[in-house]
Structures are given as C-alpha cells and as structure tokens.
Amino acid sequence: MSLLTLKDIKVEFKTRDGIVQPLNGVSFELEAGEILGLVGETGSGKSVTAQAVMGLLPFLDGRVSSGEISFMGRDMLSLSEPEYQQLRGNQISLISQNPMTSLDPVYRVGHQIVEGLQLHTDLSREQARERAVNVMSSLGIPNSEKVFHQFPHQLSGGLKQRIVIAMGLCADPRLLIADEPTTALDVTVQAQIVELFRQTVEKMDLGLIMITHDLGVIANLCDRVAVMYAGNLVEIGDVKSVFARPGHPYTKALLNCIPVLNMEADSLKAIPGNVPSVRTYPKGCRYHPRCPDAGPLCRKIPPEIIRTDPGSRVLCHQFSPQWRKTL
Ligand SMILES: Nc1ncnc2c1ncn2[C@@H]1O[C@H](COP(=O)(O)OP(=O)(O)O)[C@@H](O)[C@H]1O
Ligand SMILES: [Mg+2]
C-alpha cells in the first residue's frame, strides 16, 4: 500500500468572479522513504496540490470537487476538520512557502519548535530543547542558542524560513510536504538543507514531496519527479529516466532552460509564451499554444495520461495511437 495516493483530483475555488478550477485531475502515488519532486511554472497548481493533501482548502474557500486522496489507507476526503487537525503537524506536515503563515509572532522561535516536538514525542522539555538546537545548527543557523530565544520579527527572512523547516522536520511526520522551502536562501545554505532533508527521509522512512523551481534540487534529491502545467500533471517518472528521456514537450522545454552556470529561481521563465491563466485555459491540450509539436488533435481534444516506461506516465497525444493517424 502506498503512503499517499491521489486519484484524479479536481479542485474548485469560489472567487468573487465565479468558480475557478486550478486542478484538473491530478494523480500520483508516494511510498514511504520516497522523495517526489513537484515542478512547474508559477500558477501550475503545485501549492494547491499541497493544500488539498493537507486539508487546507476549506480555509481558502476551496474544495476537492472530485477524486480520491488516501493516506496510509485512510480516505482523507471523508475526514472531519477535527480529525484532519489531528493529522496535521503530526502525521502530515507542511513547510509552507511563506514562513509567516507558520510562525506565531508572539512566541520565541525556540518555544515554537519545542512545543511541536513535545506534542509529538515523549521528549522532556530539556531533551526537546537540545534536539531543537541541534536541528537548528544542522540547518546552518549560526548562534542557534541565541536565535532560540529570539522572536520571529528579530530574524531575517532566510533565518525565519530555516526555523519553519526546523519545525517541519522536528514534527516527526510520516508525510512531509515542503513548498519551495529553499527559494529564499543562498546556494550554500540550500545545499545544507537539501542534505538534511535527504538524511531525515532516510532515517525516519517518511515520504517527502519537494515542491521546487530548482531542477538542480530535483536532480540531487528526488527519486521521482512530477511535472505540472496549468492544473495538469503532464509527466511523472523516475528522475533519471525523465531527465535522460523527457516525454512531454513541456518537460523538454523545462530541461532546456537549465542554465549552465549559477541558476536563479526564475530561470524557468525562459520558455517562450506564458502560462495561461486559470480563467482562460485553452481548449484541447492546455500546452498546445506553446508546444512546438502541436498538431490538429492537440487543439481540439484534451490528451489522456499514457503509461510510457513501466514507471512513467505522460499526458500528451504524441504517445497515443490516434496521433499517428493524424500525421
Ligand atoms: N485561494 C485561491 N483562490 C482562487 N484561486 C487560487 C487560490 N489559490 C490559488 N489559486 C489559483 O490556482 C492556480 C494554481 O495556484 P498555485 O497552486 O498557487 O500555483 P503554484 O504552482 O505556483 O504553486 C493559480 O492560477 C492561482 O491563481
Ligand atoms: Mg506555489
């Protein structure tokens, strides 16, 4: 049994201008001890996928409108909010993109890490304190003892982000979702943190979903990669095979954008054209206006996900039997 399974998840948000549907049938599985990278341009639905798994959509005027999410065999969509609350921060933990959503401005940061630790472990206050300071040091936080006693507003953005990562790692979850956790940090610190994620997954046998813009992080850290575009998961597979033989034209374009030298977070912008807005998704394949290989079929009919290698799936007409007939 997989740790986490998403089957054909669709999401709706109510907005002042009507309903938007940022996820259009997302499916994947994650095993314990596995790291899945989730990549795609801004607005493709990565954070919404995380929010769906974490049960946070109701707080955002959203909902999963169809599909299934199961976690350790439990049907997550039938949980009540109190039941979900029991899982959040405990069995499932989110390291959010914006550190201030996870930090409480009125408490010292050390207190917040220790609170979390004591909630989920049998550690004494002193042991929890020690573990927190250790995790902080291994995240490259200088003067951990001093930072431990500071308030969030006294810390730089980069330090705040590392405190949030420490909280996520200390919660000892079965499933951890990290939403662009290292984007605000410099390259050396990033490398340290990536290493700590790897060790934590190995030691605790947890499942990790790493949402990132950084294909270098995907290559170094992840076992499998899922590529999202405009609310669809367009390709999923083993990192090695996907990087060596990308199937989807969008994945190919992403990989072509890796700059040779130092990469910046928004290097993905280099693909010609823009991500369509959630209100104006094109008919047919959502990628067709930007796709160099698009044919008549792509402009009319949305593709279906097709298994290519044993472990790989691609959402592209080029892999379907109809494709050859239209050439
Ligand atoms: N609370 C919300 N209400 C309405 N639309 C939203 C909300 N959150 C996200 N969206 C829309 O859903 C789409 C996917 O967003 P998101 O998952 O945040 O993208 P990203 O891949 O950059 O994380 C975007 O078009 C975004 O505008
Ligand atoms: Mg996001």
The answer, yes or no, to whether residue 327 has pLDDT greater than 70, is no
- The confidence score (pLDDT) of residue 268 equals 47
Q: Residues 6 or more apart from 50 whose CB is under 8 A from it?
A: 94, 177, 179, 209, 211
265 CB less than 6 Å from ligand 1?
no
Do residues 239 and 223 touch, judged by C-beta distance below 8 A?
Answer: yes
Q: For 171-210, how does the pLDDT look when each residue is reduced to its tens digit (9 = 90+)?
A: 789 999 999 988 778 888 888 889 889 998 998 899 999 9
60 alpha carbon – ligand 1 mean position (Å) = 10
Residue 237, burial from CB neighbour count under 10 angstroms (0-12, 13-18, 19+): buried
- The confidence score (pLDDT) of residue 259 equals 60
- Calpha distance 114→131 (Å, rounded): 9
Q: For 87-144, how does the pLDDT look when each residue is reduced to its tens digit (9 = 90+)?
A: 987 899 999 877 777 899 999 999 999 988 888 778 899 999 999 999 899 888 999 9
The answer, yes or no, to whether residue 38 has pLDDT greater than 80, is yes
Provide the whole-model pTM.
Answer: 0.91
48 alpha carbon – ligand 1 mean position (Å) = 6
In 3D space, the residue among 9, 36, 23 whose CA is nearest the CA of residue 206 turns out to be 36
CATH superfamily entry for domain 4-91+173-279: P-loop containing nucleotide triphosphate hydrolases (3.40.50.300)
- The confidence score (pLDDT) of residue 261 equals 44
266 alpha carbon – ligand 2 mean position (Å) = 13
User: Reading across the β-sheet that carries 4-15, which strands appear in turn?
Assistant: 18-30, 4-15, 62-71, 74-75
The answer, yes or no, to whether residue 292 has pLDDT greater than 90, is yes
42 CB less than 6 Å from ligand 1?
yes
Give residue limits of the domains in the chain.
4-91+173-279
Nearest ligand atom owner, CA of 277: 1
- The confidence score (pLDDT) of residue 55 equals 96
Provide the CB-side half-sphere exposure for 17 (13 A, CA). Answer: 4
152-170 average pLDDT score: 89
274-292 average pLDDT score: 92
> Going by CA atoms, what residue is nearest to atom 27 of ligand 1?
43
- The structure tokens 């990033």 sit at 190
23 alpha carbon – ligand 1 mean position (Å) = 9
46 CB less than 6 Å from ligand 1?
yes
